[in-house]
Structure 1
C-alpha cells in the first residue's frame, strides 16, 4: 500500500454503504421487474409463446425512464472496479491479475448455472416435453447472459481505461461518447455494427463511475448535480421527441445506444446527490446485515432468478392451475405470489452455490498465471456469451457454454492473495481516494 507519515501504511478506505445500497436497490428492481415481464402463454392448439406483459404496456414507457437501472449497475461497477484496481496495483498486482480475478468471480457461478440448465433442459426433452417449450425456456432463462458479455468487456478494459482517466478524465469520457454516437449514426447502414456499443457504451458509463470514485473536485455541488439531472433528461426527451431514438428504454437496451448514457449521467448525479440519505439508511442494523449478505451473493441472485422464474412458469403450464392471460387483473394479483415463489427457490440456490462468487485464492505471492492462459480464458468465455447475446440461447449452446466456462476456470486457476506492502510495485501507485466516496473493495 501507499506509505504515509512515518512510513506507516495508509489505511484502506472503508466501504461506501451508499454504493452497496444502490446496487441492492438495482438488483431488487431487476428481480421484481422480471416477474412482471415473463408471461408464457399456452394456446388452444398446444403451442407456447412468451409475452413481455409489462413491456407491452404503453404507460410503462415513461415509467421505465426511472426504472431502467442497468446504467446505474455499471456506474457502481466503475466505482468499485477502480478502487479494486488501484488497491491491487498498489500491492504489486498487474492488469492480467485483475482480469483473472474478475473473470473468476463471474465465470465460476455462471459455469454451474449453464451446466445445470443444460442438464435440466435435455432431461425435459428426453421426458417428452415439447421442443418448443424447451427452447422457450432456454431463450428466456438466457437473457442475463448479455449482461455477462457487457460487464466483462467493461471490467477487462478497466486497467487501461483507468490509466487514461488518470491522465485526461473528461477527454477519455468524451472520446468514448463520440464512439457511441458514431456507432449510432452508422447502425442504419450497418445493423451489426450496433453491437459495438456493447463495449463503447458500457465502458463510457463505467467511466462515470470513475468520476464519482474520485469525488471532489471533479463532481459539482448539489445545485450543479440537480442541473445535471435536469439537463440530461431534457436532452434525452428531445432526442425521443425528434424520433432519433425510441422512448422505450427496454428497446434501447440491446443493442444499447446513446439514450442509456444520458440515463447514466442522470442516475450518477442522482446517486451523488442522495448519498447522505443512502448512508443513513444503510447504517440501520437490518439494512446493514442485508447489505453484507446481498453484496456477497449478488451475482448468484442475478444469474439464477430468471432461469428459476422461467422454469417455474413452464412447470405451471403443465398443471391444471388457472392460467390468467397476461395483463388481466387476475394476472397482476398473482405477481406477488410469483415473486415469493422465485425468492423461495433462490434460498437453496444461494446456500448451495453462493460461495462460488468468492474467487479462489492462494496465500503468498506465487508466480502469476501465464498471460496466454488468461487471454485464452477470456476468449473461450466470450465465444458462447457473445453468441447468446447476439443470436439467443439454445440448449446446444448451453452445453457448449458450460464446457467453455469450465475450461476457463481451469485456465485461470487461483489468484495470489497479496498483502499490503508486498510485490515489486508496492507503494508505487497513487493513494486510494478519500471521502466523499470511499472504496468498495471487491474480492
Structure 2
C-alpha cells in the first residue's frame, strides 16, 4: 500500500488541482452511499424483490438526503474541469466533444449490455423471478439518467464558456429563473390546469445550473465574494422553500409521495446546489492543502480513475448480495421492510460488504472505461442492441 501511495504521488503533476479532484471524488462516493443507505427491498409472497425506502417510515431521515445529494458539486466540478480541458484541446471542438462523450458512453453501454445477457441467465438458469429482475433493472438504470443529462450538458460547454465570458457569475441566473417559473406554474394556485409534462422543462436548466457555475468558476469569473453570495443566498432560498412553500423535505423520491424534488429537479435542488457550490469554492484552498498529504491523495486518485465504474455498477454490487439472500427469506438490513431502527443498524453493517462487492465487480468492469481498440464494429453493434433491449425491459415496456 505504501508503494502504491508513493507511486501515485510521484506520478501526480505539480499543477494538478487536488481540491477539484477531491470534490469530484466526494460527490461521486455520495451516490452509492445514498443509494445503499436509502434503498431497501421487500419480499413478496412469490419470493420476488421490490423496492422500498426507509424514508417512508422515517421521514426524519430526510436531512441525510441533503448531505448525500451532491450532484450539484459533481456538475460544478464537471463544468470547471471541462473549461480546463476545453482550453487545452489541440483539435477541433467537435473532436474534443467526441472524446469526452465517448468516455461517458462506453461504461453505460457496457453495464447495460452485460445486464441484457444476465437477465435470461438469471431467470431461466437461476430461477430468479421476473419481478426481481424488473426491480434490479430499475436500480441499474436509476443512476444512468445522470450520465444522459451530463452528456447533454457537456455538449453545451462551448456555449457555457461564451456565457461565462460575457456574464460571469450571472450566467447561471437565467437557469435558476426558468426553473422558478416552471415550479410556480406546476405548484402554484393554478397547478390543476398545468399539464403533468411541464416539469420535464426543468431537467436541462436544473442540472445545467451548477455546471454553468463551474464553467464561470473555471473562467475565473467567480471569486470568494460570489461564493459567499451563493452559500448564503442558496441556504436562505432552501430554508424558505421548505418552511414557507411546502417543498418535500427529502431530496430523493419517497415511495407513495406525490411530489419529488429530483425527478425532475425542483427549485429546491438548485438552492442546494448553490449552497454546496459556494461552500466548495470557499473551501477549495483548505481542501487542496489537506490533499497534499500522499496518504489522503491516493484514494482520491483511485476513485477518480474508476468514476464511471462506481456510478454504473454500484447498484449491481448491492443486488449481488440481495438477490441470493432473498432465497433465504428476510435478512436483516438486506431483505425485508426498512421500517425499524434495527434495519438501519443492520444496513450500516452491510455497507462494507457492498463496497467489497463493488471492488470485486470493478476489477473487471473498469475495462469498459478504456477505449475499445480491440472491439470491432460488429461487437459494438451487438453491444448496442443488447443495451437497447435491456433499456426496453428496464423501462417496463418489455
- What TM-score, normalized by structure 1, do the two folds share? 0.73
Asked whether the equivalents of residues 141 and 310 of structure 1 are also in contact (C-alpha less than 8 Å), the reply is: no
Considering fraction of residues, name the structure with more helix.
2
Residue in 2 that maps onto 1:245: 247
The equivalent position to 1:220 in structure 2, one of 217, 224, 228, is: 224
Matched, 1:191 2:189: no
- Equivalents in 1 of 2:76, 2:393: separation in Å? 26
Query: What SS is found at the alignment partner of 2:224?
Result: coil
Residue in 2 that maps onto 1:174: 173
Matched, 1:66 2:64: no
Residue in 1 that maps onto 2:268: 259
The equivalent position to 1:120 in structure 2, one of 105, 118, 121, is: 118
Residue in 1 that maps onto 2:83: 82
Deviates more, 1:235-244 or 1:130-139: 235-244
Matches within 5 A, 1:213-362: 213-215=218-220, 218-221=222-225, 225-243=227-245, 245-250=247-252, 251-319=260-328, 322-323=331-332, 325-359=337-371
Residue in 2 that maps onto 1:35: 36
- Equivalents in 1 of 2:331, 2:25: separation in Å? 33
1:359: how far off? 4.3
- Equivalents in 1 of 2:222, 2:294: separation in Å? 32
Q: Go from structure 1 to structure 2 and tell me whether the alpha carbon gap of 1:146 and 1:240 turns closer, same or farther (over 3 Å shift).
A: same
Q: Go from structure 1 to structure 2 and tell me whether the alpha carbon gap of 1:396 and 1:345 turns closer, same or farther (over 3 Å shift).
A: farther
Number of residues paired by the alignment? 360
Asked whether the equivalents of residues 227 and 277 of structure 2 are also in contact (C-alpha less than 8 Å), the reply is: no
Q: Go from structure 1 to structure 2 and tell me whether the alpha carbon gap of 1:13 and 1:252 turns closer, same or farther (over 3 Å shift).
A: farther
Residue in 2 that maps onto 1:18: 19
Q: Go from structure 1 to structure 2 and tell me whether the alpha carbon gap of 1:218 and 1:148 turns closer, same or farther (over 3 Å shift).
A: closer
Residue in 2 that maps onto 1:98: 96
Q: Deviations over 1:413-441 (max 9, x none)?
A: xxxxxxxxxxxxxxxxxxxxxxxxxxxxx
Q: Deviations over 1:244-281 (max 9, x none)?
A: 53232113111112211111111111011112221122
Asked whether the equivalents of residues 169 and 213 of structure 2 are also in contact (C-alpha less than 8 Å), the reply is: no
1:143: how far off? 0.7
1:80: how far off? 0.6
Query: What SS is found at the alignment partner of 2:15?
Result: coil
Residue in 2 that maps onto 1:110: 108
- Equivalents in 1 of 2:86, 2:101: separation in Å? 14
Asked whether the equivalents of residues 177 and 204 of structure 1 are also in contact (C-alpha less than 8 Å), the reply is: yes
Q: Go from structure 1 to structure 2 and tell me whether the alpha carbon gap of 1:337 and 1:214 turns closer, same or farther (over 3 Å shift).
A: same
- What TM-score, normalized by structure 2, do the two folds share? 0.81
Asked whether the equivalents of residues 39 and 313 of structure 1 are also in contact (C-alpha less than 8 Å), the reply is: no
Higher relative contact order (CA 8 A, sep 6+): 1
Q: Go from structure 1 to structure 2 and tell me whether the alpha carbon gap of 1:348 and 1:193 turns closer, same or farther (over 3 Å shift).
A: same
RMSD: 3.0
Asked whether the equivalents of residues 160 and 215 of structure 2 are also in contact (C-alpha less than 8 Å), the reply is: no
- Equivalents in 1 of 2:139, 2:304: separation in Å? 25
Query: What SS is found at the alignment partner of 2:306?
Result: helix
- Equivalents in 2 of 1:360, 1:165: separation in Å? 35
- Equivalents in 1 of 2:388, 2:168: separation in Å? 33
- Equivalents in 1 of 2:146, 2:331: separation in Å? 34
- Equivalents in 2 of 1:392, 1:273: separation in Å? 45
